[in-house]
Amino acid sequence: MQLAIIDYKNNTIEKYGEHRKLFPNVSFPKTGPSEEWIKNNSCLKIIDHIELPNVNTKLESVTPYLEVHNNVYYPYSVRVISLTSDETNQRDVEAQDGQRGIRNMLLRDSDWTQMPDSPLSDSKKAEWATYRQKLRDFTTTSGWVDANFPDKPS
């Protein structure tokens, strides 16, 4: 368990690290130190995850630092940073590739509907042909990466 030893007078982290290394002469249970032990030894668990505010951000590992809000102490080992333009472009390319992959699979899975020996009636074949055309046109519509695929005929 990653802990920070807090200097509450100066609002700083004195030391940080794995609890067994910070306190080598203390025998801890397998589950680690109790909440009471942590509090009694001026320690706090280091927070290593923050919810991202939006898709254009990521977490970056940093040297633990302390934030104080309303007299509550929060030791963090990560911070939220914005994606670079290269990372944003890469994310967008990966999302497009994923959607194209699903679209291609849906087309492959419906190939049988257009075969001459398909058991479908002419009207059902036409429904499936329309669906397949919507799939082929899917990537040309605005916002297609986040859009839902057309519904399959019944």
User: pLDDT tens across 52-111, in order?
Assistant: 999 999 999 999 999 999 999 999 999 999 999 999 999 999 999 999 999 999 999 999
Give the integer Cα–Cα distance in Å for 62 and 77.
5
Cα distances from 107 to residues 1, 14, 80, 110, 125, in angstroms, run: 49, 60, 40, 5, 14
- Tally of domains in the chain: 2
Q: Is residue 153 part of a domain?
A: no
Phi then psi dihedrals of residue 33, to 5 deg: -65, 150
Does 70 share its domain with 97?
Answer: no
Domain encompassing residue 136: 85-146
Q: What pTM was computed for the model? A: 0.67
> 125 and 137, same structural domain?
yes
At 118, which amino acid appears?
S
The Cα–Cα gap between 75 and 44 comes to 7
Share of the chain above pLDDT 90, in %: 99
Is residue 7 located within the same domain as residue 76? Answer: yes
pLDDT at 104: 97
Model confidence at 149, in pLDDT bands (50, 70, 90)?
Answer: very high
Does residue 125 belong to any structural domain of this protein? yes
Same domain for 55 and 93, yes or no, is no
Residue after which a domain boundary falls, among 82, 108, 135: 82
Listed residues 36, 61, 82: the one ending a domain: 82
Mean pLDDT, residues 20-37 taken together: 96
Let me know: does 134 contact 150? Beta carbons within 8 Å: yes
Q: Please state, for a pLDDT cut of 70, what percent of the chain lies above it.
A: 100
